[in-house]
């Protein structure tokens, strides 16, 4: 379970996240929906402990917020916009490295790596160096790295990017299986179809704030919209209009 | 189970040993000195000549300590940032200080290996006494550790491989520049004899001229050099905490 409370983060004069609070429960896929620059990636980076918020807090699995980001990091797996893998290492070696850094005992690690490779259909390229991998193969290797330590919470930033249709379907199936096993999954996207198909719960982000949250159907009903796209446009336009009025 | 800095170091070593181009270039740098001095030694005879050859050897050995880990250093942070693998690394529950220590250990290994290979080359081609070569090795190993820390700091503050390569190429001129400075301003030698680079150059010069080596001076120089290395690593670890350093570029 992930709970953010009044998160704020600025980079110089740019306020990326202004006052962002949302809950992502266990056993559900929560979508952070917003346009480019809305603050989704910054929020995910704060949740996974690589960025420290200026104000506000992140609570994961009811563990009290702490200044030591390792407490959060041990409970979260993440596939964010940086998916770099080591080109001179094989897929298996890449995974072994991160498994060791996560403290998975050596005996269990080999088994777990095999399991994850099989889950993502990476067996055929398990012992190939990753230099020259296609974007889809790189994405799947990075996703394998994110779920290697069997985290209770998984963060995904635009997970469909660069994947072909069969891979997108395979990843969706995997995410649903993980959700059904009780994991908390948060994914950010600006692709409405992806959010509509996958997410049980949606938080709409605009200008660094949550402007609405609820089930996709509820958002449509509340805004009297026929589709999630219409609902999203109404919610974000309203927010932008409010910001314009405030600045006048 | 290895500690996290050792896991990072082992991966860096394994990764870098597969970079054939970089390993060959490091080997070339390490063996260039013995080849040059070996050729000069054929044409030179006498006591004065031996002193000149020893001084030449010292300059090459000093540069070898600086160059040996350079390619690893470039890849260590600037390379990670360029290939967008730094963020996934920092998402793991490990201290950024441990990332820096692990990478420094790997760079140091290559720097010391470059230096040792260089001195072994000299032992083969020129008839310096093993005792004098050992003194040079023990004098320069702490300097190679400091050079590794300095190179890692530069790599941490650079946005990409090209930028890191530009600045790190210039670092070779540090030992050369300080050496030249001391030639023109020999009265500064006393003040600088406990500082890294200058101290090692002065000490080796003393050995070259057949002077008596003071154990106290040697120990003090080693301690100050290692202290400089530790301070440089602390700055690098501090830099790696900054958002603009992690995400910039």
Q: For chain B, 249 residues long, give each residue's pLDDT as a single digit of tens.
A: 679 999 999 999 999 999 999 899 888 888 988 888 888 777 666 666 777 788 788 888 888 888 999 999 999 999 999 999 999 999 999 999 999 999 999 999 999 999 999 999 988 887 778 888 888 899 999 999 999 999 999 999 998 999 999 999 888 888 778 777 777 777 777 777 888 888 888 888 888 777 777 888 899 999 999 999 999 999 999 999 988 777 764
CA dist B122 and A3 (Å) reads 64
CA distance B26 to B148: 14
Tell me how many degrees the CA angle B206-B210-B216 measures, rounded to the nearest 5. 50
Superfamily of domain A2-84+155-247: P-loop containing nucleotide triphosphate hydrolases (3.40.50.300)
For residue B100, the distance in angstroms to the closest alpha carbon of chain A comes to: 14
Burial group, residue A171, by CB count within 10 angstroms (0-12, 13-18, 19+):
buried
* pLDDT tens digits along A123-163: 999 999 999 999 889 999 999 999 999 999 999 998 877 78
Kindly report the nearest CA distance between residue B9 and chain A, in angstroms. 11
Residue B70 CA to residue B114 CA, distance in Å, equals: 10
The domains of chain B are located at: 4-247
Q: What was the pLDDT predicted at A197? A: 87
Which candidate in A84, A96, A105, A142 is best for mutational testing of the B interface (most B CBs within 10 A)? A84
Alpha-carbon distance of A192 to A172, in angstroms, equals 15
Give the pLDDT mean for A189-218: 88
What lies within 8 Å, CB to CB, of A221 at 6+ separation is none
B8, B88, B106: best mutation site toward chain A, by most A Cβ within 10 Å? B88
**Pairwise CB contact (< 8 Å): B88 & A142:** yes
Burial (0-12, 13-18, 19+ Cβ within 10 Å), A224 = exposed
Task: Give the pLDDT score at A239.
Answer: 54
Find the distance separating the first CA and the last CA of chain A, reported in whole Å. Answer: 40
With CB atoms and an 8 Å threshold, state whether A50 touches B246.
Answer: yes
């Amino acid at each position: 379970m992930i709970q953010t409370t009044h998160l704020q983060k600025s980079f110089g004069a740019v306020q990326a996240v202004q006052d962002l609070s949302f809950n992502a429960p266990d056993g559900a896929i929560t979508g952070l929906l917003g346009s480019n620059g809305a603050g989704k990636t910054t929020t995910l980076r704060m949740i996974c402990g690589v960025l420290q918020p200026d104000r506000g807090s992140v609570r994961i699995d009811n563990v009290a917020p702490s200044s030591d980001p390792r407490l959060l990091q041990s409970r979260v797996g993440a596939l964010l916009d940086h998916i770099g893998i080591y080109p001179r290492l094989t897929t298996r070696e890449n995974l072994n490295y991160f498994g060791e850094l996560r403290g998975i005992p050596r005996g269990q690690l080999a088994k777990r790596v095999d399991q994850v490779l099989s889950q993502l259909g990476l067996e055929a390229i398990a012992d190939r160096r990753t230099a020259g991998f296609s974007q889809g193969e790189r994405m799947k290797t990075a996703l394998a790295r994110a779920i290697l330590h069997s985290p209770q919470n998984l963060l995904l930033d635009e997970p469909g990017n660069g994947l072909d249709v069969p891979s997108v379907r395979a990843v969706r199936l995997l995410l649903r299986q993980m959700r059904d096993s009780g994991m908390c999954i948060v994914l950010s996207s600006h692709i409405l179809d992806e959010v509509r198909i996958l997410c049980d719960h949606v938080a709409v982000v605009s200008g660094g704030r949550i402007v609405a949250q609820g089930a996709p159907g509820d958002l449509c009903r509340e805004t009297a919209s026929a589709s999630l796209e219409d609902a999203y446009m109404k919610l974000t336009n309203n927010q932008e209009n409010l910001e314009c009025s405030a600045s006048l | 189970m290895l500690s996290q800095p050792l896991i990072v170091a082992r991966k860096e070593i394994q990764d870098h040993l597969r970079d054939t181009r970089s390993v060959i270039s490091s080997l070339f740098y390490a063996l260039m000195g013995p080849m040059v001095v070996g050729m000069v030694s054929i044409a030179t005879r006498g006591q004065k000549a031996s002193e000149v050859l020893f001084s030449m050897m010292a300059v090459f050995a000093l540069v070898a300590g600086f160059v040996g880990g350079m390619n690893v250093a470039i890849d260590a942070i600037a390379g990670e940032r360029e290939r967008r693998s730094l963020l996934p690394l920092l998402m793991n529950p490990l201290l950024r200080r441990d990332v820096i220590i692990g990478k420094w250990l790997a760079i140091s290994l290559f720097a010391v290996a470059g230096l040792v290979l260089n001195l072994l080359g000299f032992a083969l081609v020129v008839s310096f006494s093993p005792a004098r070569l050992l003194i040079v090795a023990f004098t320069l190993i702490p300097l190679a550790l400091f050079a590794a820390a300095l190179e890692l700091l530069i790599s941490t503050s650079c946005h990409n491989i090209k930028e890191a390569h530009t600045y790190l190429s210039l670092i070779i001129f540090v030992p050369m520049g300080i050496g030249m400075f001391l030639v023109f301003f020999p009265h500064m030698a006393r003040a600088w004899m406990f500082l890294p680079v200058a101290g090692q150059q002065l000490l080796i010069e003393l050995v070259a001229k057949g002077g008596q080596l003071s154990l106290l001076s040697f120990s003090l120089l080693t301690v100050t050099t290692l202290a400089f290395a530790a301070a440089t690593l602390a700055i690098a670890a501090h830099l790696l905490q900054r958002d603009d350093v992690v995400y910039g570029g």
